[in-house]
Chains A and B, each alone.
Chain A
Amino acid sequence: MRNTKYDKIADHHKAKENRLGHFLAAFLSGGVVGALGEGTIEILCFFFSLSRSDASVFMITLFIFLACLLTAFGYFDKMVHFCRCGLIIPITGFAHSMMSSTLDYKEEGLIYGIGSNMFKLAGSVILYGVVSAWFFGLIRYVLEVVFG
Chain B
Amino acid sequence: MYFLTSFLFCGILCGIGQIILDTTKLTPGHITSIFVVIGAFLDTFSLYDNMIQIVGGGALLPVTSFGHSLIHGALLEAEKVGWIGIFMGMFDLTAAGISSAILFSFLFALLFRPKS
Q: Please give the residue numbers on chain A whose beta carbons come within 8 Å of chain B beta carbons, in ascending order.
A: 17, 19, 22-23, 25-35, 37-42, 56-57, 59-61, 63-65, 68-69, 71-74, 84-86, 88-91, 93-95, 98-99, 102-104, 106, 114, 118, 121-122, 124-126, 128-130, 132-134, 136-141
**How many residues belonging to B are interface residues under a CB distance threshold of 8 Å?**
67
For A42, what are the chain B residues with a Cβ–Cβ distance below 8 Å? 2, 57
For B90, what are the chain A residues with a Cβ–Cβ distance below 8 Å? 130, 133-134
Assembly CA distance A68 to B60 (angstroms):
18
For A128, what are the chain B residues with a Cβ–Cβ distance below 8 Å? 33, 36-37
Inter-chain contact B10/A26, CB cutoff 8 Å: no
| Other-chain contact of B36, A59, A61, A95, A132 (Cβ < 8 Å) | A132
Inter-chain contact A31/B7, CB cutoff 8 Å: yes
Inter-chain contact B15/A27, CB cutoff 8 Å: yes
Inter-chain contact B114/A104, CB cutoff 8 Å: yes
Inter-chain contact A26/B14, CB cutoff 8 Å: yes
Chain B binding surface SS class: helix
Assembly CA distance A37 to B41 (angstroms):
24
Q: A28-B11, A68-B108, A91-B66 are in contact. Are A125 and B36 (CB under 8 A)?
A: yes
For B50, what are the chain A residues with a Cβ–Cβ distance below 8 Å? none
Assembly CA distance A59 to B113 (angstroms):
27
Distance in Å: Cβ of A45 to nearest Cβ of chain B: 10
Q: A37-B61, A124-B29, A141-B78 are in contact. Are A60 and B11 (CB under 8 A)?
A: no
Assembly CA distance A126 to B67 (angstroms):
9
Q: A136-B44, A137-B78 are in contact. List 10 more A-B contacts (CB 8 A).
A: A19-B23, A23-B18, A37-B58, A64-B101, A72-B111, A104-B114, A124-B33, A133-B40, A133-B67, A134-B87
